[in-house]
Amino acid sequence: MEDKVQPEYKATQVVEVGGSEEKVKAFREAYLDGTLTVNSSKLAQKIIDFERSLDYPSRTDSKE
């Protein structure tokens, strides 16, 4: 059985907010064991949606 390579990790300060500590732990474990996958199309769409939700002046609204 192969030993898994563990990255250097030094815990600093842990702030528990609701169940977020468990979520972060689950993400970290999935990352370390190689099972974490990302749907790049879905992530890109979420980023686009977030950027659109920001209060930027629209380019079409500018009157020069």
Q: pLDDT tens across 12-61, in order?
A: 655 555 678 888 888 888 888 988 888 899 999 999 999 999 876 665 55
Q: Give yes or no for a contact between 38 and 64, defined as CB atoms under 8 angstroms apart.
A: no
pTM > 0.95: yes or no:
no
Residue whose pair of structure tokens reads 């250097």 in the numeric block: 8
Q: Are 40 and 48 in contact (CB under 8 A)?
A: no
Cα separation, 30 vs 34, whole angstroms = 6
Q: Give the phi and the psi of residue 14 in degrees, each rounded to 5.
A: -105, 125
User: What pLDDT shows up at residue 48?
Assistant: 93
Q: Where do the DSSP E strands lie in the chain?
A: none
pLDDT at 63 over 60: no
